[in-house]
Copies of this chain bind each other. A is one copy, B any other.
């Protein structure tokens, strides 16, 4: 009944959707199997994409030909570039999404892909022959043949929803949990663990008093995620900010004895950096308020998401407490918040392509690997999907380094360090932040995708070329353009930097703090004329490149040093027990994790610089 697919993707969340597209855009025939075709690309929790660390990932997904950025651009209701007051390494795009439109748009894009087929059903197990994937097995008892399988089950594996003392089976509110897969994988030798995450109540926006909250509008000139030609955002919706207070906290505390978090009913660890409101009150007992973001769920709905109020307290406690928040006095709830516990698989069981070590051609991506967040899921899907396709086509794997992309950092962290609590991205996880900026993910990554022959790049390649040339031309101009003190000193004074004593080139002035290319162009009309043919992204990148040239160069050198280690391959079948000069812990960890390169080995906790030297000596370097 089914042909043999190149790649079968199980689950159509953010990981699954990107995986399907990535494999199909490398020419693989893909089947996307999901429990409910009406919940494709559903945002389970907050209706937002991007944010600090995460926005960079969406840009990277886009640069590699993924669709999350395009879908977000086409359906967002608000855009903000966060951290604009900090250095460009920290600038992070974030969009408020229309939840329904986002899901519909993704579905349309998937359906429009001639290489992607669909099947609506629950997968109950993988089909393995001789340690290698043969396909998947479904709830109706079908065996669907496939050469590679990507599992992206999200929070559905043996999912249990907790609200106060009540427990319900489910993968998400109102949806069934997925059973069978965990047990089967455990039999195959996989180690499963338990995690939890939570979501806040949804409120009736018609009952909130926005006049007492602080409005948080979108950016005046909203940017976008995709490097393709997505339409500019018009008609932004505002979010609002309000705060909890001691009264709210007191009310919540009254429910603590019925909290599944505090009475031990929930076993799995939750995301430390996305704590529930009860967690926040418990951990920061000294704080007398916590910020809440009041976010619209879409353009045509009054449903509101209360960012910052995730909770699994009993629904009456959530209700009573919410009603004491400023602006929520007459609030009505659509549904309470809840926590969900689910199975994940320690990602140290994966290689850098996200293929499992135990079953050939089986890939895991997304929340199943212990991560949290749409962006983290999406980028894993992309990498797993690409690599599944490449493997089936007997081509070289595609792996991103820590110095090349946040995606590289994320996967490297996961497979080497594993995670005990839901892993989310932070800029602080990257050692080369200034190289992993959101403004040039296209220059970093798009050429790689082109080299692999990724299809449907929608002009990204041409745009990269133009952007690169534009940046170079602007840099050349600034480096060549001399300027006299009397031309510029008025402006320099106005931004509080020392006056010039003699003529200099424009690039040296730009390097000063406070000086901007925009400011220079305002002062020097010929510069304005010179810049006018270039688009904002190009001009911005040129500015950043010149202003931060020194930092960028320094990080490049650090990367180079590291990459020498990164370039030294370790055999995957090598038995480290033989190398008695290694510490015992290093031997064990190395044997367990089988790093692919010395660089990777060096980042494993328990592998010391001394151990790295032993490895280098052993390899004759």
Contact = CB atoms under 8 A, between A and B. Distances in A.
A158 B302 CA distance: 32
A173 B206 contact: no
Given A38-B38, A111-B302, 12 more contacts: A37-B303, A38-B100, A38-B174, A100-B104, A107-B301, A108-B301, A118-B204, A120-B173, A140-B315, A141-B166, A174-B176, A176-B176
Interface of A: 1, 35-39, 100, 104, 107-108, 111, 114, 117-121, 139-142, 163-164, 166, 168, 173-176, 202, 204, 206, 300-303, 315-316, 319-320, 332-336
Given A108-B301, A204-B117, A301-B107, A174 B1 contact: no
B315 A111 contact: no
Closest 7 CB pairs of A and B: A36-B174, A120-B335, A1-B319, A111-B302, A108-B300, A118-B334, A1-B316
B119 A315 contact: no
14 contacts: A1-B319, A1-B320, A36-B174, A100-B104, A111-B303, A118-B334, A119-B333, A120-B174, A139-B168, A140-B163, A140-B166, A140-B336, A142-B315, A142-B316
A617 B303 CA distance: 60
Nearest to A163: B140
Task: Give the number of copies in the complex.
Answer: 2
Residue among A142, A164, A174, A320 with most chain B CB within 10 A = A174
Contact of A206 (B114, B320, B332, B333): B114
Nearest to A166: B140
Contacts of A140: 163-164, 166, 315, 336
A81 B471 CA distance: 62
A481 to B, nearest CB: 51
Nearest to A37: B334
A495 to B, nearest CB: 49
Contacts of A336: 140
Nearest to A319: B1
A311 to B, nearest CB: 14
Contacts of A107: 301
A232 B277 CA distance: 50
A28 to B, nearest CB: 16
A469 B174 CA distance: 52
Contacts of A301: 107-108, 111
Contact of A334 (B120, B139, B320): B120
A382 B38 CA distance: 27
Nearest to A104: B100
A334 B119 contact: yes
Residue among A35, A139, A140, A206 with most chain B CB within 10 A = A140
Residue among A39, A114, A121, A202 with most chain B CB within 10 A = A121
A187 B161 CA distance: 30
A461 to B, nearest CB: 27
Contact of A35 (B38, B111, B117, B174): B174
A610 B301 CA distance: 59
Nearest to A138: B315
Contacts of A111: 206, 301-303
A167 to B, nearest CB: 11
Contacts of A315: 1, 140, 142
A476 to B, nearest CB: 46
Nearest to A108: B300
A35 B173 CA distance: 9
A67 to B, nearest CB: 15
A179 to B, nearest CB: 12
Nearest to A105: B300
Nearest to A113: B206
A191 B581 CA distance: 80
Nearest to A165: B141
Given A37-B334, A301-B108, A333-B119, A174 B173 contact: no
A316 B142 CA distance: 9
A140 to B, nearest CB: 6
A489 to B, nearest CB: 58
A141 B314 CA distance: 10
B335 A119 contact: yes
Nearest to A207: B117
A173 B174 CA distance: 13
A166 B108 CA distance: 31
A166 B100 CA distance: 32
A333 B119 CA distance: 7
A332 B117 contact: yes
Contacts of A121: 335
Contacts of A166: 139-141
Contacts of A38: 38-39, 100, 174
A155 to B, nearest CB: 16
A36 B163 contact: no
A1 B334 CA distance: 12
Nearest to A332: B117
Contacts of A139: 166, 168
Contacts of A300: 104, 108
Contacts of A302: 111
A39 B37 CA distance: 12
A76 B114 CA distance: 26
Contacts of A332: 117
A190 to B, nearest CB: 27
A317 to B, nearest CB: 10
